[in-house]
Amino acid sequence: MICRESAAANKQPERQEGMEHLTKASFQEKIFDYEKNKEWNFAGELPCIVDFYADWCGPCKMISPVLEEISKEYAGRLNVYKVDTDQEQELASVFGIRSIPSILFVPKSGKPQLATGAMPKAAFVEAIGRVLEVN
């Protein structure tokens, strides 16, 4: 009972090393303020990966350790963010997220690209080089 109470009291999403969980407000600040801008305008300093996931999603759980590795290996060159689609339904709707995991690759300039489904690490590394232009 003590564990359940303390978990309920701490409603903040878990922070995984190197990855930040985004809310609507932090997404608008760090990625794109879709309420103020109609045209894509990336607000970040570094290219990023945004993982749209849910805690109950098996494939999402499978790629989470891969994203943790990537966040460490590419530290200082790109950011890795997570958006809980159950908590942030408006964000999921804005990007037309219909299945999870959905991964948004956001370069410093140019349009973001969305990939759907669990991917192996090699596919992430290839997209990081090709889409984000980070080696």
Q: Which of 22, 60, 67, 132 is catalytic?
A: 60
Distance in angstroms (rounded) separating the CA atoms of residues 111 and 84: 22
113 near 119, Cβ under 8 Å?
no
Options 22, 57, 92, 106, the catalytic residue: 57
Catalytic residue status for 57: yes
Residue whose structure tokens are 């995991």: 101
- Catalytic, 48? Answer no
Contact assessment for residue 105 and residue 49, using Cβ atoms and an 8 Å cutoff: yes
Q: CA 116 to CA 85: how far, in whole Å?
A: 14
DSSP E strands, 71-112: 79-84, 102-106
Please give the positions annotated as active site: 57, 60
